[in-house]
């Protein structure tokens, strides 16, 4: 029996992500939680003739702080018994905003939801999609540490959309008809120049013409802005993110079932993952997205490809590290020294 939970399930990402979970043969039970509209989303999905049973759990409308008893009960019902929790709860960007501008609202939302995860499903794998990922993952880790249930092998910042974009955009340049065949590691964090695509480590190797490299790197780093601009006030990437979030969750579930050789870049707490210490020392960052070998216990091994960076990528990494340190510190201190 595998139970998956989507927190923020009625949103732009949450709905298509829940659809993908509902039709996945890897998921037997699916719980949807949001502060609005989950009964409708759940009723709709429940008519699909697939394996997963479905339950919708809604908190009282407008109760964003989770203070009402019925909110707590809904979280409890949704999360109890969860194997994997996927979190796209929180506000998205509008044109002109950075992901860091979302911190003010989303930091508290993620903190509250992780408090509930610590209470009701302390052993679940937790996948954080809510932005700014560079800060919300440290927030989640600190909350889990405070609750005494932090397992760094089970906490993941979802950076898969950066990998998906890198595959797609490289495919457009090289003419690869099935970009999924390209393995392109994207490391660092998940915003602007903290995102570092490492084309030198692509498998099979790819040949990016020198005059196209800067623009390609920039497009991977700022792909999110492209969507925010095109949606013109109606939010940010939702459908491609649902695809990417499901792809990551599916990799976790396959690895949990014993499938070998599954590697996905993801933003993890390095000191808690085998092989991570060396990367933390080299970067000075405790959190970093690197290719991680997944297994039954979650993140089995962090793979250090940073030492293979070429000179161009080393410069990108230096920039990324500067931004990441500030973002990580903001997340840690949000929990350690909560705003009054």
Ligand X SMILES: NC(=O)C1=CN([C@@H]2O[C@H](COP(=O)(O)OP(=O)(O)OC[C@H]3O[C@@H](n4cnc5c(N)ncnc54)[C@H](O)[C@@H]3O)[C@@H](O)[C@H]2O)C=CC1
Ligand Y SMILES: O=C([O-])CC(=O)C(=O)O
Q: Tell me the binding residues for NAD(+).
A: 8-14, 34, 106, 129-131, 241
The set of residues, in sequence order, having a beta carbon less than 8 Å from that of 73 and lying 6+ positions away, is: none
Q: Which does 158 bind (CB under 5 to 8 A by kind): ligand X, ligand Y, none?
A: ligand X
Task: Tell me which residue has tokens 């939680």.
Answer: 33
Q: Minimum CB separation from ligand Y for residue 68, in Å?
A: 30
C-beta separation of 224 from 65 below 8 A: no
Q: Minimum CB separation from ligand Y for residue 94, in Å?
A: 9
C-beta separation of 78 from 18 below 8 A: no
Told to check if 161 binds ligand X by CB under 6 A, we report: yes
Binding mask 52-91 for ligand X (x = CB under 6 A): ------------x-x---------------------xxxx
* Residue in 22, 153, 154, 190 annotated catalytic: 190
Binder to ligand Y among 7, 78, 187, 227 (CB under 6 A)?
227
Q: Minimum CB separation from ligand Y for residue 134, in Å?
A: 10
For ligand Y, give the closer residue by CB, 50 or 193: 193
Cis peptide before 200 (omega within 30 of 0): no
| Cβ atoms within 10 Å of 46's Cβ, excluding its own | 15
Whole-angstrom distance, CA of residue 50 vs CA of residue 305: 39
Q: Which does 227 bind (CB under 5 to 8 A by kind): ligand X, ligand Y, none?
A: ligand Y
Whole-angstrom distance, CA of residue 210 vs CA of residue 227: 26
Angle, CA 161 vertex, CA 156 and CA 162 arms, to 5°: 95
Told to check if 220 binds ligand X by CB under 6 A, we report: no
Told to check if 118 binds ligand X by CB under 6 A, we report: no
Residue 47 appears among annotated catalytic residues: no
Told to check if 11 binds ligand X by CB under 6 A, we report: yes
The annotation places the binding site at 8-14, 34, 93, 99, 106, 129-131, 165, 241
The beta strands (E) that lie in the chain are given as 3-7, 29-34, 53-58, 84-87, 125-128, 155-157, 186-188, 195-197, 262-269, 287-295, 298-302
Q: Which does 35 bind (CB under 5 to 8 A by kind): ligand X, ligand Y, none?
A: ligand X
Told to check if 236 binds ligand Y by CB under 6 A, we report: yes
C-beta separation of 117 from 80 below 8 A: no
Over the range 236-261, which residues count as b (16 or more CB within 10 Å of their CB) and which as e? bbbebbbbbbbbbbbbbbebbeeeee
Binder to ligand X among 196, 202, 237, 306 (CB under 6 A)?
237
Told to check if 140 binds ligand Y by CB under 6 A, we report: no
Told to check if 241 binds ligand X by CB under 6 A, we report: yes
Site residues (CB under 6 A) for ligand X? 7-8, 10-14, 33-36, 64, 66, 88-93, 102, 106, 109, 112-113, 129-131, 133, 158, 161, 190, 235-238, 241
- Just list the catalytic residues: 190
């Amino acid at each position: 029996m595998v139970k998956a939970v989507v927190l923020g399930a009625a949103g732009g990402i949450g709905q298509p992500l829940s659809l993908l979970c509902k039709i996945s043969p890897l998921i037997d039970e699916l719980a949807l939680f949001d502060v609005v509209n989950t009964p409708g989303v759940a009723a709709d999905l429940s008519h699909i003739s697939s394996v997963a049973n479905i339950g919708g759990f809604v908190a009282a409308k407008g109760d964003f702080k989770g203070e009402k008893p019925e909110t707590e009960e809904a979280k409890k019902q949704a999360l109890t018994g969860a194997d994997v929790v996927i979190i796209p709860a929180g506000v998205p960007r509008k044109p002109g905003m950075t992901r860091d501008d979302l911190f003010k609202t989303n930091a508290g939302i993620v903190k509250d939801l992780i408090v509930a995860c610590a209470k009701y499903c302390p052993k679940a794998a937790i996948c954080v999609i809510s932005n700014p990922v560079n800060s919300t993952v440290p927030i989640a880790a600190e909350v889990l540490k405070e609750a005494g249930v932090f397992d760094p092998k089970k906490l993941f910042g979802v950076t898969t959309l950066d990998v998906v974009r890198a595959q797609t955009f490289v495919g457009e340049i090289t003419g690869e008809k099935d970009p999924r065949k390209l393995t392109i590691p994207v490391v660092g964090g998940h915003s602007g120049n903290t995102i570092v695509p490492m084309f030198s480590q692509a498998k099979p190797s790819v040949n990016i013409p020198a005059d196209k490299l800067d623009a390609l790197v920039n497009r991977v780093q700022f792909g999110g802005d492209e969507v925010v601009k095109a949606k013109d006030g109606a939010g940010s990437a939702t459908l491609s993110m649902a695809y990417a979030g499901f792809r990551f969750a599916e990799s976790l579930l396959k690895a949990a079932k014993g499938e070998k050789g599954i590697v996905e870049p993801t933003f993890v707490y390095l000191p808690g993952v085998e092989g991570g210490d060396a990367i933390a020392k080299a970067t000075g960052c405790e959190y970093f997205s690197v290719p991680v070998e997944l297994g039954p216990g979650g993140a089995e091994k962090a793979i250090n490809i940073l030492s293979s960076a070429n000179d161009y990528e080393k410069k990108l990494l230096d920039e990324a590290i500067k931004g990441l340190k500030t973002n990580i510190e903001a997340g840690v201190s949000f929990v350690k020294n909560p705003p009054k």
